[in-house]
Structure 1
Amino acid sequence: MPVRDDDRTGARIRQQRRLAHLTQRQLAERLPYSYSLLNQVECGARTAAPEFVDAVARALRIDVALLTGADPVTTLHPRRLAALVHPIREALDAYDLDPDPTPAPLPTLTMAADTVCQQVRATRLRAAATALPGIITDLTHTAHTRPGTEVWRALASTYRTAHDIALKLGYRDLAALALDRMGWAADRASDPCLAAVRQYKRALSHQESTYLGLRLITAGHTLLAGQTSREAHAIAGQLHLGAVAVAARHSDRTAVDEHLAAARELAALVGGEAPEIHWLSFGRTNTDIHALGAHVRMRQWDDGLRQARAMRLPLSTVTSRRARYLVDRAVIEMETGRTEASLRHLVEARRVAPEQTRYHPGTREAVTGLVHTAPHVGLPRAHGGVGGPVALTRSQICERSGRSAAGRSVHE
């Protein structure tokens, strides 16, 4: 079992020093600080000053975020992220204003909104984030000047896309704002299904609280009371999967099993996968992926490994779901001592969905475990040529798994 990072800067310095194959004295020789200070920082006896951390990062030729614990996706290039996110925030803030552009016809806007949602599902976040503000602005104008159920539905769906992008980029405040706007538009559309989707998204943002998370799931099911359409069944099933995520976060196995059973019943009613229903992709495959994720959250590694090996994802599985499966499986393989298999799945996740893989928390967990497991991780020659296994260094592990040695983000 890999040794876990204890979340101290000194422990992270020790980890990165070992990955660079340096002794404490060798690293100290590269610093304008003493060996004694380095030793005390690593063992936790002294607090690392910012100047000391900067010097260590320069000496190891890594990004300082790897030593401070900051998320490189949201902190390495704040100007680039701000340039990407700020127009979305402005478009959300202008929800009650009557803008004065000349928007495209509603069918064109609806098609553009669907395209952006598809891009998010395909993990092409930069393209989606770039196009989204203009679509929100045009739909807002249309809703103010020619209000109707169709435009309100399109606007609510687009706000939901804004939430997904903001959450994936680490802007939780913006994600919450987008959900508020989604509720505002869904109310005007008088669409209980859209309103229930919003409650599902809210529940996922409150996984830290079982009570609140499950209350939001219940509120979503209440909105669907009496609804018997395939759309309603798919959303009700997705709500149960949201409850699985909330319950697994708190290791409530009974609740996980109950909600998985309910989701499987609804998946049978829906019949096959339903990617066209609010882009939820609800069905048997999504239910299995959530079950695997629950094993990961509850640290049921043996059960998770058995399920992961038995799963066969259909070719039609959307990219974001496939990447989630691959990262979860990589974590399971790593936790059960199969480091080479873990790295193979991380490499595949990066190939399938490079942007999603870079910032997925499971990727960081797996990479941290891999680099702690041994000085080198052997990768079979299927990934490197012919002959015996290849020994990979720390930087190669990070590079192949989608996190560069310098912690670079997808926005470089």
Structure 2
Amino acid sequence: MTQHLTTGERVAWYRHRRGLSQEVLAGLVGRTADWLGKAENGRIELDRLSVIRALAHALDISIGDLIGEPTLLEWSADSGRRTVPALREALMDYRLLTPLMSPATEGAPPTLTALRSDVGEIWDAYQGSRFGLAARQLPLVLSDALLAARTYAGREREEAHGLLALTYQGAAMVLGKLGENELAWIAADRGLAAAQQCGSDVIMGSLFRSVTHCLLSTGRYETAVSLVNDAAGVLERGLAAASPALMSVYGTLFLTGSMAAARSEDRATTQAFLREAQTLADRLGGDANHMWTAFGPTNVAIHRVATAGELGDVQVAVELGPQVDTSGLPAERRVRHSLEVARALSSWNRTDEALAMVLEAERISPEQVRHHYMSRELVLGWIRGTRGRPSRPIADLADRLRVV
């Protein structure tokens, strides 16, 4: 029902459903009724998740309810016609939870070489912003990985559990992109359990990052910060002689933590986490994609822009954002950064530049732009703020995003 509303309009919609006046809701979040009125009618942009979380908490709803998630994964040649429901069935199949209830004749497990390749394809699809393709492949790969983890023994069993953990993590990351936060949490939780059976700090660290993402998506920012600190304590034992993969996972964990700290409006921790990530990026010596992290100096710069936006430092985001060259990074990272910069530009009424950023992001990955709340919010805001008919490029983009 609220699919075509801006975040501010959703606040008003849920406020009416709760029977709250503007004065009461504003008081619950420490704001004035005048501020809330402007936010609800689009004269103030609700573009900081810390503020959105406070409103969602006061309204007793989820953050996803206010930013328009979950969203529909549209059918495509990549996805076929069995998308998120098929993955949900795979995650919720009780027979996959314990070997005691497994079918008697499961067949031969896949070779670990084949399973490594299949897991890699899922992560490549994720980084290429081909979420439909990843969602389509995940149920079968998950079944194969579970069978392998139960069948193999010794070191092969440990590797199978590592691949199972990465499969669950891939599911969590894809589901998070699609706004399916509860399913993402289930996948991340099971992935972390599998990671503990594989004996790899690299894979364990990778799953810590995934759980942190899930906490972020549900607004549990302080908990996410605590998890990053605890996880860092677990991983730092091997940091002195760390491989590039472990350095990348460790550094990316701090980048995720910096977003959590920024959304908690904790500037000191945000900067501390960014400094830690920068140290790891410098030690790594350049951009890389170990464990599908896209970690390096460029990703640290991307997070400096994103955290500035979350903290309300729009000028920093506007000045630094366009200077970051993301051309060497995977599509998912490039598009996410473009949307952050577009949001900052739009907040300074530089709509033409912001629109250009969104259109370029759409050229790189139509699927990611179509499913991200930020692009939908930007376009809806531009349409609501236009007197008369919106420009043809904005109207056409709104039609492609199906927000009007």
1:376, 1:394 within 8 Å by CA — same for their partners in 2? Answer: no
| Pairwise CA distance, 1:307 | 0.2
| 1:221 counterpart residue number | 232
| 2:86 counterpart residue number | 87
1:143, 1:151 within 8 Å by CA — same for their partners in 2? Answer: yes
Q: TM-score, length-normalised on structure 1?
A: 0.74
Q: Give distance in 1, aligned partners of 2:376 and 2:321.
A: 20
2:258 is matched with which residue: 244, 251, 258? 244
Residue deviations 1:335-390 (CA, integer Å, cap 9, x gap)? 11111111111111111111111121211231133123323688xxxxxxxxxxxx
| 1:336 counterpart residue number | 348
**Unaligned regions of 5+ residues in structure 1, if any?**
12-41, 44-67, 379-390, 407-412
| Pairwise CA distance, 1:150 | 1.6
| 2:63 counterpart residue number | none
| Pairwise CA distance, 1:154 | 1.0
1:263, 1:287 within 8 Å by CA — same for their partners in 2? Answer: yes
Matches within 5 A, 1:3-402: 5-7=8-10, 8-9=12-13, 71=69, 73-74=71-72, 83-92=82-91, 93=93, 94-97=96-99, 98-99=102-103, 100-147=106-153, 148-207=157-216, 208-227=219-238, 228-229=241-242, 230-275=244-289, 277-313=290-326, 315-375=327-387, 391-392=391-392, 395-399=395-399, 402=400
Q: Secondary structure at the match of 1:226?
A: helix
State the aligned residue count.
Answer: 333
Q: Secondary structure at the match of 1:251?
A: coil
1:160, 1:178 within 8 Å by CA — same for their partners in 2? Answer: yes
| Pairwise CA distance, 1:224 | 0.8
Q: Give distance in 2, aligned partners of 1:225 and 1:125.
A: 33
2:221, 2:260 within 8 Å by CA — same for their partners in 1? Answer: yes
Q: Secondary structure at the match of 1:101?
A: coil
Which one-letter code corresponds to 1:144 in the other structure?
A: R
Q: Give distance in 2, aligned partners of 1:87 and 1:76.
A: 14
Root mean square deviation, CA, Å: 2.9
| 1:32 counterpart residue number | none
| Pairwise CA distance, 1:393 | 7.2
Q: TM-score, length-normalised on structure 2?
A: 0.75
| 2:35 counterpart residue number | none
**Unaligned regions of 5+ residues in structure 2, if any?**
1-5, 16-39, 42-65
Q: Secondary structure at the match of 2:346?
A: helix
Describe the shift of the 1:81–1:164 C-alpha distance in structure 2 as closer, same or farther (beyond 3 A).
farther
| Pairwise CA distance, 1:81 | 10
1:199, 1:219 within 8 Å by CA — same for their partners in 2? Answer: no
Runs of 4+ more than 6 Å apart: none
Identity among equivalent pairs (%)? 24
Describe the shift of the 1:127–1:210 C-alpha distance in structure 2 as closer, same or farther (beyond 3 A).
closer
Q: Give distance in 2, aligned partners of 1:69 and 1:252.
A: 22
Q: Give distance in 2, aligned partners of 1:404 and 1:347.
A: 15
Residue deviations 1:183-205 (CA, integer Å, cap 9, x gap)? 12111102222222222222222
Q: Secondary structure at the match of 2:265?
A: coil
